[in-house]
Amino acid sequence: MKLIPIIFCMILYISQTQGAEAIKGAFGVEFGNLEDFIKWPHNKEETKEIKENTYRYETPKGYRIFQKCWFKVTPKTQKIFQIYSFHEAENEKSAEQEVEIIKEAIKQKYKSKIEQYKSTLENKYDQAILFRSGNRYIQILREKNRLYIKYGDYDWQKLSQQEAIEDGVKRSLKEGI
């Protein structure tokens, strides 16, 4: 009889860890509240709003060639839902090699917690790779010698679109339709 509570606890632990998001963030920024990011002193000076709900920062935790990064927040709830960067490589071959290095590093870091999918952007880029874990994703894109990497949260991305629509409706009602 003592074995049943132990088995129950093990099942609960496994279900909780498998349900947890593997992708927490990127480049020193975690998905979640903007206020949590801004609290740290170095983030205040280095983070600049470049356009509405989009911020640029230089990361102390750069990854290889990515130092200048951006992130987007939902308009109303201020949730960080997308983190991205890009790099201009010397030539196409070095950009291709960098894509392969990043792809393998992602596979090794997340192991079985992440899956590779066919990207809907394959026709628009020379290379387009998509990894997913639950509602979070990593997108690697290469166009000639330009390399992009984007981390995102699909649920908060949808929330951002909904909040933007709600805000647009409120503004149009005030302006008179």
6-54 pLDDT, tens digit each: 333 333 333 333 445 799 998 888 999 888 877 665 555 567 778 889 9
Tell me if 14 is assigned to some domain.
no
HEC profile of the chain = CCHHHHHHHHHHHHHHHHHCCCCCEECCEECEEHHHHHCCHHHHHHCEEEECCEEEEEEEEEECCEEEEEEEECCCCCEEEEEEEEEECCCHHHHHHHHHHHHHHHHHHHHHHCEEEECCCCCCCCEEEEEEECCEEEEEEEECCEEEEEEEEHHHHHHHHHHHHHHHHHHHHHHCC
pLDDT of residue 18: 43
Number of domains in the chain: 1
Q: Which domain holds residue 78?
A: 24-47+67-166
Tell me if 158 is assigned to some domain: yes
Whole-number pLDDT of residue 44: 56
The verdict on residue 145 lying in a domain is: yes
Q: What is the pTM for the complete model shown?
A: 0.79
Residue 117 lies in a domain: yes
Averaged pLDDT in 10-residue chunks for the chain of 177 residues: 40 40 88 80 65 81 75 94 94 95 94 92 95 96 96 95 88 71
